[in-house]
A and B are shown apart, each in its own frame.
Chain A
Amino acid sequence: MKRTLLIFALAAALVSCTSLYEEFEPVFTGKYEAPTAAKKVALEPNITIADLCKMYKTAMPWNVDQNLIIAGKVSTTDKPGNFYKSLYIQDETGGIELKLGRNGLYNYYQEGQMLYVRCFGLTLGMYGYKSGNYGGQGMVQLGYEDPTGSYETSYLEAPYLIDSHIFAGETGDKVVPAVITEAQLPGKNDTQATNEYVGKLVTLKGLTYGNQVFCLIYINSNKDKSMSANRIFLSDETWGVTTWAMSENKFKEYFDSGVWDSVKIGNAGDYNYGTVGEPNDPGFATSRAEIRAHSAAYSVSQYFKMGNTDIALRTSGYSKFGDNEIPKSVLEGKATVDLTGVLTLYQGTIQLIVNSLDDIVVHE
C-alpha cells in the first residue's frame, strides 16, 4: 500500500514538474500593452546629396565602398500612388531617389521626415540616360546593385538590407517647394551634380497645355517587351487621352472607343505590324482581342509648355487620380496651370512628377 502511494506520489511529482516547465517562451495571453513609438535616429551626414551625385560617372554604376552618410527630408509620398516603391529625399544641395522596393513607404517614412542613408554597400546609378543628340541625362539614384545589367541599380527590397541602410529621423514640416523660372530649369545634360533643382520639389507656374502625350503600351506584357511587334506608342499628339494617366479600366475605355485605331504598332521606323484598329502580324499573332485581354494600367506623360520648354507631367496609371479628367479649360488652352512636383530628367527631357492632384493648380 505504502509503496503504491509512494510510486503514485513520485509520478505526480514528475507530472507537476513537467507542468511547471514551460516551453522556450510561453505565449502571453493577457492584455497586450501598446508598444512605445520607435526611437528616432540621428546620424551625422558627411556628404551632401549633390556631392554624392558628383561621384557618379556616366554609365558606371558605383557600388559605394566608402562610409558616406547623406541626410535629407522626404519630399514625396506614395500614398496617392504616383510614386511607387521609392521616395525622394532632399537637402539644400539637391534631391535623390531612394529605390527601397517596398509598397506603402509612407507608413514608415513620412513627408518632411529626416532620413539618413548609410551609403556603404548601396549602388549609385542612373536611370534614363540616352547618349547622342536626341538623348540626355537621366537621374542619379541610390539603389542596390543589379547584376543582370538591365538597370544600373535595383530596388533594395530585402527588409534587413533596408533597415541596415535607411534610418528614420525626426518628423517635421513638409518640404517647401522652390518656385523656379524657365531660366532655372536644367538643360538636357544637367544632373543633380550640376543643377541644384534636379531631384527636388519645385513649383513651375503659368504652364499651358502642349497637346501632346507620350505613352508606351505593350500588346502582351507577358511577352518580350523589347520587341517592336509588342509595342504601341501614343506620341506626338493627344490620341484622345484626356486623363492624367489610365487605369486598366480606363485603358479599356479608350481602346474600345476607337480613338487609337489609327495608331501604328511598332517602334518608330518599324511600323510593319498594322494598326491598333487592324493589327496585322501573323508572326506575333496580334489581334485586338489579345490587346484587350492584356489590358493594363499605363503611365502617361501629358506635355505642358513653360515658355518654350516642354515639361512632361508624368503620372502613373496606378495613382489614385490617374483617371481624373484634365479640366477642359486646360485642354483647350484657356487656362494655365501651376505644377508642384519632383523635377526629374529622362533622356534629357524634363519630367515633373506630382505627389497628388493638389499639386496641380488650375488658373481659369
Chain B
Amino acid sequence: MIKRITLSIILLFAALSLWAQIPTGGVKGVVVSRDGRVPVPGAEVVLSQGGVQIAGCTTGDQGAFLIEALANGMYSMTITANGFVSTEVNVTVDDGFVKDMMRISMTPELMVAEVDDSSFVEFDMDDSGYTDNPTIMYGTTDVFTSVAGYGFSSIRFKNRGYESESQDVYLAGVKMNDAITGYSPFSLWSGLNEAMRSKETTIGMESAEYGLGHFNGTTNLLGNPSAVRPGWRFSLLSNSALYRLRLMANYASGDLDNGLSYAINVSVRAGGNDWIDGVYYKNFSYYAGIEKKFNDNSRLALFTFANTGQRGAQNASTQEVYDLMGTNLYNSNWGYQNGVVRNARVRKTFEPVTVLKYTASPTDKLDVAATLLYRCGWNGYTALDWYDAPDPRPDYYRNLPSYFYMDDDDYNRLNEGKYNWALESWSNHSRDYANYQHINWDRLYNVNYNQADGRSKYAQEQRHVDQRDLNLAASMQWYPTDQFTLQAGLSGKINRTENYKKIADLLGGQYYLNIDQFAERDFASNEALIQNDLDYFLANGSAEKVVKGGKYGYDYYAHVRKGNLWVNGIYTVGGLTASLGASLGYETFWREGLMRKGLFAGLDDNGREITYQGKTLTTYDNKGQVISSKGNSDKCKFLTYSTKMSLAYLMTGGHRFSLNAGYFADAPTFTDAFVSPRTRNTIIDGLTTQKTMSADVNYQWGGNGYSVRVTGYWTKIKDQTDLMSVYDDSQQSFVNFAMTGIEQRHLGLEVGAKMPLPVQGLSLSGVLSLGEYIYTSNPTMTMTIDNSADVIYENVEIPYWQGTPKYRHVNYNGERVIEFDVRGDAVIDGYTKHHVPSTPELATALALNYRTRSYWFFELTGQFFAKSYLDMNPLYRTNIAVGGADGIITPEEVEYMTEQEEFDPAFLLNLSIGKSWYIHRKYNIGFSLNAQNLLNELNVKTGGYEQNRLISSLGKDRYYRFNSKYFYMPGANYMLNLYFRF
C-alpha cells in the first residue's frame, strides 16, 4: 500500500518536474468590435517573435481566446478577422503568468463608410411613369460591395444593371418587396439605422438561409432587439445634399440575466438642403422591440416600427429650363404662397410594421425560425389637380421660350417677339419674376375665389397607396451530417392595397366636382358618362361635390395572394461545396373597383346593363367582354418556380472558385398587369410569367490584408411586361403604354480588389463594374387613355425598341448620303443597341485608405462612370413617331427619332475622414465626415426620361421630339455624423 503511495508521490513529483519544464506563461483576452464592443468570433490571433510565428488560435463564440505555454518574452500579436482592420499589439509575458489583455478592440472596415439611407435621395416621378430606384447594396466584407454600395449611390448605380425590384429584401426572414410594384421597401425603415443595422447579405446568385433568392443578391435585416448593439447611442447628422439635420437616439439592453432583451430607436429628420430648393424632410421614426430567450435554444421577439412624416419632393425638368434658371438642380414643384415657400408634391406616410418572430434550435442539428409580419397604414403623395384652367406648372412647355421660337424653322416655332417675353420672365431671377419661375399659389387661390359657385378649379390632391400586408414565413436549417445541410422554408402573403385619391386642399374653394374632365370633352352630351362615381350620380342626380378629405377620381383595391415553398441542399466535402435548390409558388391577384366610373359602367349588382335616360352605358370590348370599373376583375393566376445550383471549390492558399446558375419564373407585378388600373378591370393581353436565366463564375482570394473577387455574369430576362402611365397633355389625360414581350440581356464583369501598401495602415482598393445591359426584343405595345374608352394603338410592334438601324452612307457628288438598294430600300449595316437605362455600364473606383493606430480614418476615392443611358419612351420607337404626319418613313426620321441618348462620362472625387475616442474606457465619441463630389461637378446626369409628345414639322412631313427631362447629381456636398455612446 505504502509502496503504491510512494510510487504515486514519485510520479506526481515527476509530473510536476515535467510540468515545470513546459512554459507556464500565456495570453488571454476578448476580441471585440470597436463598433459597439460586440464580441468578434472567429478572429485569428497570431503571436510571433522576430517575424517567426510562435503560436496562434481562433477566438470562440464570445470572442475569447487563450494561448498558453508561452515562454517569457516579448511577442508581437496580430489579430485578423473578416471585415475588420487587422490589429497589431505588443505583449510581454513574464513570470510565467497568463497575461489578461482584457478587451482588444478591432475597427470594422466599414466603420466610416457604412451605408446609411441618408445617402440615398429618393426620387418621385409619379407623373412621368418612369421609376428610378437605385439598388441599395449594404456593405459586406466583399470589397466590391463595400465600395460600390455606398460610393456609387450618388450616381444611382444599379448593380449589374438590374432593376431594384430584382433585389430581394427581407426583414426578420420575411420578403418585404412591395406586393404591388416589387420595389425594395427601404423607405419603411429609413431613419432607423441603429435598429436595422444588423443584417445578412448575399450577392449575385448566392442563396441565403432565409430564402432561395433571385439573381441580384439578398439582404435580410434582423431587426430583433437582441441583434441591436447594446448600450446607448446618440448621433447628430447633417447632410448638405439631402436634409439639414438628423437626430437619433438608440438604446438596447443586450441579453439580460432574466432572458429578456429590449431595444428602442428614435430619430427625427428635418430641413432642406443646399442644392435643391423646395425639398425638405419632416420625419419622425421609431422602433421598439422586446425579446425573450427561453432556456438556451429558443427566442421570441416582438417589435414594431414606422417612419412617419412628410417629405417635399423634387421634379425633373428639361435642359432648357435648367439653363434658364442657371442650375441643373432647379425644382419646379414649389412656389410662393403669401410670401412663404410651399411645395406642391409632398410624400406623407405612416406605415407601421409589426413583427413577431420565433427562433429555436431544438437539437444541435436543427435550427428553425418563423415570423409573422403585418404592415398597414397609409402612403400619400400630393399633387396639383385642375379643371378647365391653365396648367399651373411653371415649366409647362407653353411657358418656355422654345415654345415660341426655335432656330430651326422646321419646328414651326417662329415668333421671336414672344420668345423674348418668355425669355425675360425666365432669365431674371429676382423675386419680381418668381411667379413665372415657380408655382404661383396666390394666383391659383385667386382663380378659385373668382368662381361664384365655390367650385375649386385648382386643388391639391393626395394619391394614396394604402397597404394591408400580412405575411407568414418559416424556415429551417438541418445539419444531418457534417457534410450536408438542408435549408427549407415556406412563405405566404395576403395583401390588399387601396389606391385612391382624396382632396388634400381646396386652395380657397369650397368643393371639387367628381367628374372626369377629359371624358367631358368627348361625351359632353351624356352627363352619366363623365362621372367618376356613377353610383353617386344615379342616386343623387348630380355629380358629387367633394370636400377636403373626400375620396374622388378613382378608388380600387389591388388584391394579391402569394405562397411559396423552397428547399436548398448544400453538400460539402473537402474544399468542394455543391448546392442545389428549388422553389415553387403560386400567385394570384385581381383588381376590385370600388367606384363605378361612367365610361366603364359595367353591369349592375344584378348583372344587368346600366342605362341612363334611355341610353345604355354598359360597354363591351372587342372580345365581347363587359368593360367594368367596379367589382372584381378576373383573377390573374401564376405558377412560379425557380431553381438554383452552385459549385464552389476552395483550394489551398485560400483561392476559391465558384459557379452559380439559376432559372426563375416570376409573376408579373400587379402594376404591370392592368391596361389602366385607375379606371377599369381590363387585363393586359398575353400576360405571362417573366423568365430569367442567369449564371455567374467567381474567383475569390483573401489573406494578409489582400482581398480579390472577380465575377463574370450573364443574365437573360424574357417575357417582361411594363406599364407606363404618363400624363399626356395632348390628350389632357393619363395615357397608358402597356408593353409585353420585353427581353433584356445583362452581361458583364465585376472586379473588387484590395491590397495593403508598404506604409502601416495604408491600403488601396479598386473596383470595376463593366457590363452591357441591352434590350434584345421588340415588344408590342397597347396604348390606351385612362379617361376614354378609346384604345389608341392596339398590339402595335415597337420596331425600334432594341436598336436603331445603322444606315450605310456613301459619297455622292461630294455629299454623304444614305445608300439605297435597287428596290429603293435604305441599306442597313446592323443596328445600334439600346440599353437598359439609368445606370452606368462602366463604373470604376479607386480608393486610398489610411487608418492610424489612434483611430483616425481617411479615405480618398476617385470614381469614373460612363455609358449610362436615358430611359426610352416606347412611342418614339414606333412607326407612328418616325412616320411623321404624312406617315412616310425616311431613314433620317428613323435615326433622329429612335436613337437613345447616352450620358456624358463623369469623374468624381470623394473624401472621408473619421475619428473616435474612448473616455475612461467607457464612453465613446466620434465623428465621420464624407465630402462628396469635391470637384463640384454640376453636369452629371443620373437619370431622366423622354416626354411623350411630338412636334409636327412646318412641312407636316415629320415629327420632332419634345425635350427630355433629367435629374442631376448635386455638386460638392458633405455628410457629417457625430456620435456618442456608452
Contacts from A to B (Cβ < 8 Å): 1, 4-5, 8, 11-12, 14-15, 18-19, 22-29, 32-35, 37-38, 79, 102-104, 107-108, 110, 144-148, 154, 156-161, 164, 222-224, 247-250, 318, 320-324
The docked-state distance in angstroms from the alpha carbon of A4 to that of B916 is 9
Contact B457 A107 (CB under 8 A): yes
Name which of A23, A32, A249 has the most chain B CB atoms within 10 A of its CB. Answer: A23
Q: List 12 A-B contacts (CB under 8 A).
A: A18-B976, A23-B273, A26-B271, A27-B272, A28-B340, A32-B342, A35-B442, A107-B450, A107-B451, A147-B416, A159-B425, A164-B421
Known: A4-B919, A29-B312. 20 other contacts (CB 8 A): A8-B927, A18-B238, A23-B274, A27-B341, A27-B343, A28-B337, A28-B340, A32-B337, A32-B441, A35-B338, A103-B388, A107-B388, A107-B447, A148-B415, A157-B398, A160-B422, A223-B885, A247-B522, A249-B522, A324-B525
List A contacts of B885 (CB < 8 A).
Answer: 222-223
B49 interface hit (Cβ, 8 Å): no
Is the Cβ of A108 less than 8 Å from the Cβ of B421? no
Q: Which residue of B lies closest to A222 (CB)?
A: B885
Q: Establish whether residues A27 and B415, one from each chain, have CB atoms under 8 Å apart when the complex forms.
A: no
Asked if B425 and A160 make an inter-chain contact with CB atoms under 8 angstroms apart, the answer reads: yes
Cα–Cα distance between A38 and B442 once the two chains are bound (Å): 8
Select from chain A the residue with minimum beta-carbon distance to B389.
A104
A142 to B388, CA, bound (A): 24
Roughly how many angstroms separate A35 CA and B445 CA in the complex, as a whole number?
A: 7
Pick the residue among A1, A22, A24, A104 that contacts B388 (CB under 8 A).
Answer: A104
- When distances are taken between beta carbons in the complex, the residues of chain B under 8 Å from A250 are 525
B280, B505, B522, B927: the one contacting A29 at CB < 8 Å is B280
Say how far B494's CB is from chain A's closest CB, in angstroms: 36
Contacts of A158 in B (CB 8 A): 399, 404, 418, 421-422, 425
Q: Does residue B831 face the partner (Cβ distance < 8 Å to A)? A: no
Contact A15 B978 (CB under 8 A): yes
- Nearest-Cβ distance from residue A157 to partner chain B, whole angstroms: 6
Q: Which A residue sits closest to B507, measured CB to CB? A: A34
CB < 8 Å neighbour of A24 from B277, B389, B525: B277
Within 8 A of A (CB), among B671-721: none
Contacts A15-B976, A223-B886, A247-B525: A27 and B312 contacting too (C-beta < 8 A)?
Answer: yes
Q: When the two chains form their complex, are residues B442 and A147 in contact, meaning their CB atoms are under 8 A apart?
A: no
- How far, in Å, is B920 (CB) from chain A's closest CB? 8
The 9 closest A-B pairs by CB, nearest first: A222-B885, A160-B425, A28-B340, A161-B421, A35-B442, A104-B389, A107-B447, A158-B421, A27-B280
Indicate with 1 or 0, residue by residue over B938-982, a CB within 8 angstroms of chain A CB atoms.
000000000000001000100000000000000000001010000
**Which residues, 300 to 340 on B, are CB-close (under 8 Å) to A?**
310, 312, 334, 337-338, 340
B537 at the interface (CB under 8 A from A): no
In the complex, B240 has a CB within 8 A of chain A: yes
- Chain B residue nearest to A11 (CB atoms) is B927
Taking a contact as CB atoms under 8 Å apart, the answer to whether B417 and A144 are in contact is yes
Given A158-B422, A159-B399, verify A110-B450 contact (CB < 8 Å).
yes
B836 to chain A, nearest CB (A): 34
* Residue of A1, A4, A28 contacting most chain B CB atoms (<10 Å): A28
Which one of B340, B451, B919 lies within 8 Å of A32 (CB-CB)?
Answer: B340
B446 touches A35 (CB 8 A): yes
Q: Cβ of A26 and Cβ of B342 under 8 Å apart?
A: no
A286 shortest CB reach to chain B, Å = 13
Q: Once the chains bind, are B240 and A18 in contact (CB under 8 Å)?
A: yes
Determine which residue in B274, B337, B417, B457 has the highest number of CB atoms from chain A within 10 A of its CB, and name it.
B417
Indicate if B896 sits at the interface (CB-CB under 8 A): no
A18 to B237 CA separation, bound complex (whole angstroms):
10
For the side of the interface on B, what is the size category? 35 or more
For A323, what are the chain B residues with a Cβ–Cβ distance below 8 Å? 524-525
The answer to the question of B892 belonging to the interface, with a C-beta cut-off of 8 Å to chain A, is no
Q: Which residue of B236, B340, B404, B508 contacts A15 across the interface (Cβ within 8 Å)?
A: B236
Q: Which residues of B contact A161 (CB under 8 A)?
A: 418, 421-422
| In the bound complex, CA of A8 to CA of B245 (Å) | 18
A164 and B415 CA atoms in complex are apart in Å by 18
A22–B421 CB distance below 8 A = no
Residues in A with CB closer than 8 Å to B277 are 23-25
Judge whether B390 is part of the interface by a CB distance below 8 angstroms.
Answer: yes
CB distance from A5 to the nearest CB of B (A): 8
Question: How distant is the Cα of A215 from the Cα of B428 in the complex, in angstroms?
Answer: 47
Task: Tell me the smallest distance from the CB of B717 to a CB of chain A, in Å.
Answer: 37
Bound-state Cα–Cα, A216 to B433, Å: 43
Interface residue B282 (Cβ < 8 Å from any Cβ of A): yes
Complex contact A247–B389 (CB within 8 A): no
Cross-interface CB contact of A22 among B271, B342, B398, B925, cutoff 8 Å: B271
- Return the contact of B421 from the options A8, A160, A222 (Cβ within 8 A): A160
Q: A160 with B238: in contact, given A8-B925, A35-B337, A320-B524 (CB under 8 Å)?
A: no
B885: nearest chain-A partner, CB-CB: A222
The residue on B at minimum CB distance from A14 is B976
Q: Any chain A CB within 8 A of the CB of B244?
A: yes
CB nearest neighbor in A for B952? A222
State whether B524 touches A147 (Cβ < 8 A).
no
- Contact indicator B418/A144 (Cβ below 8 Å): yes
**Which of A11, A145, A318 meets B521, CB within 8 Å?**
A318
* Contacting residues, chain A, for B649 (C-beta < 8 A): none
Nearest opposing residue in chain B for A35, CB measure = B442
Q: Mark B404-442, 1 if CB is under 8 A from A, else 0.
A: 100000000011111001101100000001001000011
Is B820 in the interface zone, CB < 8 Å from A? no
Determine the distance from Cα of A249 to Cα of B529 in the docked complex, in whole angstroms: 13
**Which residues of A lie under 8 Å from residue B272 when comparing CB positions?**
22-23, 26-27
Complex alpha-carbon distance, A104 and B342, angstroms? 24
CA distance A320 to B519 in the complex (A): 12
A15 to B929, CA, bound (A): 11
Q: Is B793 in the interface zone, CB < 8 Å from A?
A: no
Across the two chains, which residue of chain A brings its CB closest to B272? A23
- Whether B919 lies near A1 (C-beta < 8 A) is yes
Query: When the two chains form their complex, are residues B337 and A148 in contact, meaning their CB atoms are under 8 A apart?
Result: no
Could you tell me which residues of chain B, from 236 to 294, have a CB within 8 Å of some CB in chain A?
236, 238, 240, 244-245, 271-274, 277-280, 282
CB B259 to nearest CB in A, in angstroms, measures 37
**Which of A14, A161, A249 has the most CB atoms of chain B within a 10 A radius of its CB?**
A161
When distances are taken between beta carbons in the complex, the residues of chain A under 8 Å from B505 are 32
CB distance from B575 to the nearest CB of A (A): 48
Nearest-neighbor residue (CB-CB) of A12 within chain B: B978
Chain A CB within 10 A, most for which of B282, B414, B443, B450: B450
Report the minimum CB–CB distance from A150 to chain B (whole Å): 9
Q: How far is the CA of A145 from the CA of B405 in the complex (A)?
A: 13
Across the interface, do A38 and B446 meet the contact criterion of CB distance under 8 Å? yes
B917 CB–A CB distance under 8 Å? yes
Residues of A within 8 A of B340 (CB): 28, 32
Residues in chain B near residue A25, CB distance under 8 A: 277, 341
> B186 contacts the other chain (Cβ, under 8 Å)?
no
Provide the bound-state CA to CA distance between A165 and B207, in Å. 69
User: Quick one: which of A1, A37, A144, A223 contacts B449, CB cutoff 8 A?
Assistant: A37
Inside 8 A of A12's CB, which chain B residues have their CB?
A: 236, 978
Residue of B271, B421, B446, B952 contacting most chain A CB atoms (<10 Å): B421
Give the residues in chain A near B620, CB-CB below 8 Å.
Answer: none
Interchain nearest-CB distance for B244 vs A (Å) = 6
B245 CB to closest chain A CB (Å) equals 5
How far apart are A11's CB and chain B's nearest CB, in angstroms?
A: 5
Q: Which residues of the other chain, B, contact A104 by a CB distance below 8 angstroms?
A: 388-390, 457
Q: Is B523 engaged at the interface, CB distance under 8 Å to the other chain?
A: yes
| Chain A CB within 10 Å, residue with most, of B312, B388, B399, B508 | B388
**CB atoms of B334 and A27 under 8 A apart:** yes
- Cα–Cα, bound, A29→B338 (Å): 13
Q: Residue of B at shortest CB range from A220?
A: B885
Q: Which of B343, B390, B424, B886 is close to A102, meaning CB atoms less than 8 Å apart?
A: B390
Residues of B within 8 A of A19 (CB): 236, 238, 244-245, 271
- What is the minimal beta-carbon distance from B239 to any residue of chain A, in angstroms? 10
Known: A18-B976, A29-B310. A223 touches B244 (CB 8 A): no
- Whether the pair A35, B441 counts as a contact (CB closer than 8 A) is yes
